[in-house]
Amino acid sequence: MFPTTLWEYPSQHYDSWVDEQGRVVKSKGRAPEARGALAMQGDKEYAGATPSWVIWQCLMRYTRVGDTVLDPMCGSGTTLDVCADLERRGVGFDLAPSREDIRQADARHVPMPDASADFVFIDPPYSTHVEYSDDPRCIGKLDSGGEDGGKAYYGAMERVIGEIDRVLKNRRYMALYVSDSFRKRKGKPGGAFMPIGFELFARLSQRLKPVDIVCVVRGNRKLERGNWRKAAEEGNFFLRGFNYLLIMKKEAADEPRGAARS
Ligand SMILES: C[S@@+](CC[C@H](N)C(=O)[O-])C[C@H]1O[C@@H](n2cnc3c(N)ncnc32)[C@H](O)[C@@H]1O
C-alpha cells in the first residue's frame, strides 16, 4: 500500500487472473500456467475509466473481506472487478450500464437502504469533455464552469453526496476521485479555471468528516504531447497533472439508548 499522500501508480491496471468462467483465481503460490488468463479491471478503452490501483488502495485500507462496497457511477465496472479480486461485495450502478452486473440508477436516487454500504467509491464526471451517454440526467452534461457559475453541476453533486451519506454505515469511509478543470479560450490566451476538487471537498465536509486528501499523479500520456505542452506554455496555463482522492468518514451522532423512533 502507498504510505504517503502522493500516489504514483505504475499502470492503469494491475495484473490479476481469471478462470474460464471469468472468476478471479487466486494466483498466490500458483505456477504461471495454473493462473488462468490475465484479466483487466474495468475497461481501459472506456473514456474516463478509473485506475484500478486507486480503488485497490482504498479497499485495502478501509474495507474487510465480505464488506459491501458501493460505486454509484460505476462506468466500465472497475470497482466491481477490484471487489471480486479482494473478496468484497461490489454493488454498482450507472445511468448507462456498460455490463450486466451494473444496474441502472441515477446516483441522486440510489436504490439501496439507509446505512447499508461499508464503503463508497465514486469517480464522477467533471466538466463536459466526455460524452458518457445520451441520457439527459447525465451529470457529465452539466458544466462546472457554465454561465450559471456551475450551479446545476454542484447542485447535482450535492444530491449525490446526500445519497452517499444516506447509504453509508456510520463510522465507515468513502472516497471521491476527481480533478480540477481548465477551459482554454479558443484562439485567445487565458481561460477559466474550475477548482472542482475544492468545491466538492467543501460540499462533502458539510456532511462527512474529512480524513485526508491524496494527490494521485495522472499517468496520462497525452500530457507528454509536444503540442499540448507548447500550448500550455504559450497560453500561460497548466496541464492537469493530478487527481484528488478526497477521503471522508461518516460520523453521525449515536442515537441515545432507548430513544423512540418516529
Ligand atoms: C468517470 S466515469 C466512471 C468511471 C468508472 N469508475 C470506471 O472505472 O469505469 C463517470 C460515470 O458517471 C456516470 N454518470 C453520469 N451521471 C450519472 C448519474 N446521474 N447517475 C449515475 N451515473 C451517472 C457516467 O455514465 C459514467 O459512467
pLDDT digits (tens, 9 = 90+) for 150-194: 999 999 999 999 999 999 999 999 999 999 999 887 777 778 899
Chain segment 209-255, per-residue pLDDT in tens: 999 999 999 977 777 777 888 888 888 889 999 999 999 999 988 75
* The ligand 1 atom nearest the CA atom of 121: 6
pLDDT, mean of residues 30-59: 79
Domains in the chain, please, with CATH? Answer: 6-249 (3.40.50.150)
CB atoms within 10 A of CB 106: 20
Mean pLDDT, the chain, integer: 89
User: Mutate which of 94, 104, 245 to test ligand 1's pocket (most atoms within 8 Å of Cβ)?
Assistant: 94
Cβ neighbours of residue 105 closer than 8 Å, sequence gap 6 or more: 72, 93, 94, 95, 111
pLDDT, mean of residues 46-60: 92
User: Mutate which of 126, 138, 164 to test ligand 1's pocket (most atoms within 8 Å of Cβ)?
Assistant: 138
How far is it, in rounded angstroms, from Cα 131 to Cα 126? 11
46 lines ligand 1 (CB under 6 A): yes
